[in-house]
Chain A
Amino acid sequence: MNVFAILAVVVLLAFIAYATARIGPRFMVRRLAGLVFVLLGVSFIIFILGFFAPGDAVFTQLGQHYTPQAAAALRHAYGLDLPWYTQYLNYLNRLIHFDLGTSFTNDTRTVWQILQLYVPASVQLGISGTVLALIVGVPLGILAAVRANSRVDASLQAVGLVFYALPSFVIIPLFFVAMVSLHQRGIPTLATSGWGTIDSEIAPIAIFGLGIFAYYLRLTRASMLEVLGQDYVRTARAKGVRERVVVWRHAFRNAVIPLLTAVGPALAFAVVGVFIVEDFFNIPGIGEETINAISQRDFPIVQGVTILLASAVVFMNLVTDVAYGLADPRIKTQ
């Protein structure tokens, strides 16, 4: 366990403690029980899909060395010769002990090690990109709503839509071409490959973030337009507070509530959404690793990734619920 992992666990426990205090132990227990059911369901579905999927890990691995004897031996070693329910129960048993198993294709590494190796880059990219999209999208959405149906509004929406509609597999090659041509003229450029240095991280984060900011722009605009038409906004104007205060304090604070619904799960899914960007920029992320694992029928990795993602979604939903309570005093979860 490295420092980062310990820190993550501490933050997680602190949050659960805070959330329990906020929403009450009963609600928390219900939430955690819900998590168990989600994980059971997800693990079962992914297990069964793997079991029935055509092709198998043993065949892929042996390749030209395939003999029936070697295959049977390997199958036995992985426990793949057992009936499916025994395999599943074994898997669950390991899961309870936080053991996700060992990769089929890379025997020297456990699934945990592989996740630790590849997840951080994807999480950094996904979260930084989403945060960038929020930083750009939310203020522009507010501006679009305040100037609704003006030219400013129309242009913001049009620009946002263009970015949203352009797939990253079109933008990234164009970006590469631009970098190459700048480089040829002796102008400093950004790295087009790798991860871990600032100059290699800027472009993927910017491209991912700008690709989705229009979503938050539209969401914020719609939410703000609704709130700006409310009676209490008129009351705020009627008592003579400045328009800036009306927009931010009275309107935006209320418009945040529906935004939270979208942002929570989006943060969890961002890790998946960055796959194409990871692929083009040769980022050692979990997306590419998962695709490889699927094509090689390396199911322990696929299962590990899926379970991690499901936990992240459930966790973010919990965060969203707690955030609701903070944003809206009418919501009393206790």
Chain B
Amino acid sequence: MAQRLLDVQNLRTHFFTRSGVVKAVEDVSFYLDEGETLGIVGESGSGKSVTSLSVMRLIVPPGKIVGGKLLFQDEDILDMDEDDLYNLRGGKIAMIFQDPMTSLNPVYTVGFQITEAIRAHLKLDKSAAEKRTVEMMDRVRIPEARGRMNDYPHQFSGGMRQRVMIAMALSCNPQLLIADEPTTALDVTIQAQVLELMKGLAQEFRTATMLITHDLGVVAGTCQRVAVMYAGRIVEEAPTKTIFANPAHPYTQAMLTAVPRPDAERGARLETIGGQPPNLVNLPPGCSFAPRCRKAQPRCLRERPLLETVGPEQKAACFYPY
């Protein structure tokens, strides 16, 4: 039995805006074991990124973590002081962001930026840190790493920059890698390469991965378990195989039917989910998905279903699963 690495309990992160309190993440609980890969899927605005930034304590005003526990190796991240957080960020938990075009500082060389991360966490002198930088750039298969160290981000392509981000993230041997839509901004062919690379290196480094994406295809090839988010809450959580074979929540089912299939009949219409996600400032009292749900009953509009076990290793927040 693998050790529990991250245990998120009832996390609530709200944004205090002029137009009201946006409950971006509301009562979210999930866990991650050492070396495990968890996918968090959901559409834009479902709270995936806010969840990951909350784990890093990188939420900036007007956002605020208003409740819950973030146990990382049995220590609550929410109780950590500044120094603990500096050690945590980049050292124990590293993060890769969505847009490699804007995630690297344009005025410093990539070598400098990776070395900076290494020197923040590993007790290495400058030359040893630079040596490790070259080694990491080699590991992410950037050709001629030693020479390219002194290049600036704008001299790299999108895929190469994301490799730089991966090298930077893994350079300090973190226990957890959070990848927030790491391939969304890349070309489809590059997407596969970067995903494979990330997956391979995470295994090599024995790093647990939290992969945030809206792309079910990405989840299928990479993750052991999946949590589906909708309107700031987790609505279903199960092993990847179960999610694809036997989705319990109507939202998960609808998402799966909305995936374009190459083997579909020509001219067949793509299934879509009607309606819009709810306004997170003023959520209806019942199930957030009820207004768009085909199976919704009167009860769904009145009461909110809790995330409950519906099958072996499968949890869903629905009164009428399957």
A229 CB → nearest B CB, Å: 9
Tell me whether chain A's interface is mostly helix, strand or loop, or mixed. Answer: helix
What chain A residues lie within 8 Å of B39 (beta carbons)?
A: none
Binds A, one of B92-100, B189-197, B230-238, B280-288: B92-100
A186 at the interface (CB under 8 A from B): no
User: Of B95, B99, B102, B152, which contacts A238 at CB under 8 A?
Assistant: B95
Does the CB pair B152–A240 fall under 8 Å? no
Does the CB pair A240–B89 fall under 8 Å? yes
A297 at the interface (CB under 8 A from B): no
Interface 0/1 of A234-250, CB less than 8 Å to B: 11111111100000001
Q: How large is the interface on B (under 10, 10 to 19, 20 to 34, 35 or more residues)?
A: 20 to 34
Q: Nearest B residue to A330 by beta-carbon distance?
A: B154
What chain A residues lie within 8 Å of B85 (beta carbons)?
A: 240
A94 at the interface (CB under 8 A from B): no
Q: Nearest B residue to A328 by beta-carbon distance?
A: B107
Does the CB pair B105–A232 fall under 8 Å? yes
What chain B residues lie within 8 Å of A238 (beta carbons)?
A: 56, 58, 89-90, 94-95, 97
Does the CB pair B107–A327 fall under 8 Å? yes
Does the CB pair B102–A242 fall under 8 Å? no
What chain B residues lie within 8 Å of A234 (beta carbons)?
A: 58, 97, 103
Does the CB pair B106–A232 fall under 8 Å? yes
Q: Nearest A residue to B95 by beta-carbon distance?
A: A238
Question: In the docked arrangement, what's the CA distance between A230 and B165, Å?
Answer: 16
B91 at the interface (CB under 8 A from A): yes
What chain A residues lie within 8 Å of B88 (beta carbons)?
A: 240
B104 at the interface (CB under 8 A from A): yes
Binds A, one of B29-37, B113-121, B214-222, B243-251: B113-121
Does the CB pair B94–A232 fall under 8 Å? no
B61 CB → nearest A CB, Å: 8
Does the CB pair B106–A231 fall under 8 Å? no
Q: Nearest A residue to B106 by beta-carbon distance?
A: A330
Question: In the docked arrangement, what's the CA distance between A235 and B108, Å?
Answer: 13
A179-237: which residues lie under 8 A (CB-CB) from chain B? 230-232, 234-237
Question: In the docked arrangement, what's the CA distance between A211 and B155, Å?
Answer: 43
Question: In the docked arrangement, what's the CA distance between A254 and B107, Å?
Answer: 7
Q: Which of A236, A238, A241, A327 has the most CB of B within 10 A?
A: A238
Does the CB pair B89–A239 fall under 8 Å? yes
Question: In the docked arrangement, what's the CA distance between A232 and B106, Å?
Answer: 8
Does the CB pair A236–B105 fall under 8 Å? yes
B168 at the interface (CB under 8 A from A): yes
A199 CB → nearest B CB, Å: 42
Does the CB pair A239–B94 fall under 8 Å? yes
What chain A residues lie within 8 Å of B106 (beta carbons)?
A: 232, 254, 328-330
What chain A residues lie within 8 Å of B108 (beta carbons)?
A: 253
Does the CB pair B58–A241 fall under 8 Å? no
Question: In the docked arrangement, what's the CA distance between A238 and B95, Å?
Answer: 6
B203 at the interface (CB under 8 A from A): no
Question: In the docked arrangement, what's the CA distance between A329 and B104, Å?
Answer: 13
B87 at the interface (CB under 8 A from A): yes
What chain B residues lie within 8 Å of A231 (beta carbons)?
A: 97, 99, 102-103
What chain A residues lie within 8 Å of B107 (beta carbons)?
A: 253-254, 327-329
Does the CB pair A237–B58 fall under 8 Å? yes
Question: In the docked arrangement, what's the CA distance between A27 and B103, Å?
Answer: 32
Does the CB pair A254–B105 fall under 8 Å? yes
B86 at the interface (CB under 8 A from A): yes
Q: Nearest B residue to A228 by beta-carbon distance?
A: B60
Interface 0/1 of B46-82, CB less than 8 Å to A: 0000000000101000000000000000000000000
What chain A residues lie within 8 Å of B87 (beta carbons)?
A: 240
List 14 A–B pairs whose Cβ atoms lie within 8 Å, in order of A's numbering. A234-B58, A234-B97, A235-B95, A237-B58, A238-B58, A238-B89, A238-B90, A238-B94, A238-B97, A239-B94, A240-B120, A241-B90, A250-B105, A254-B107
Contact surface of A with B, Cβ cutoff 8 Å: 230-232, 234-242, 250, 253-254, 327-330
Contact surface of B with A, Cβ cutoff 8 Å: 56, 58, 85-91, 94-95, 97, 99, 102-108, 116-117, 120-121, 152, 154, 165, 168-169
Given A240-B85, A240-B120, A329-B107, 19 extra CB contacts under 8 A: A230-B102, A231-B99, A232-B104, A234-B103, A235-B95, A235-B103, A235-B104, A235-B105, A236-B105, A238-B58, A238-B89, A238-B90, A239-B169, A240-B90, A241-B86, A241-B90, A254-B105, A327-B107, A330-B154
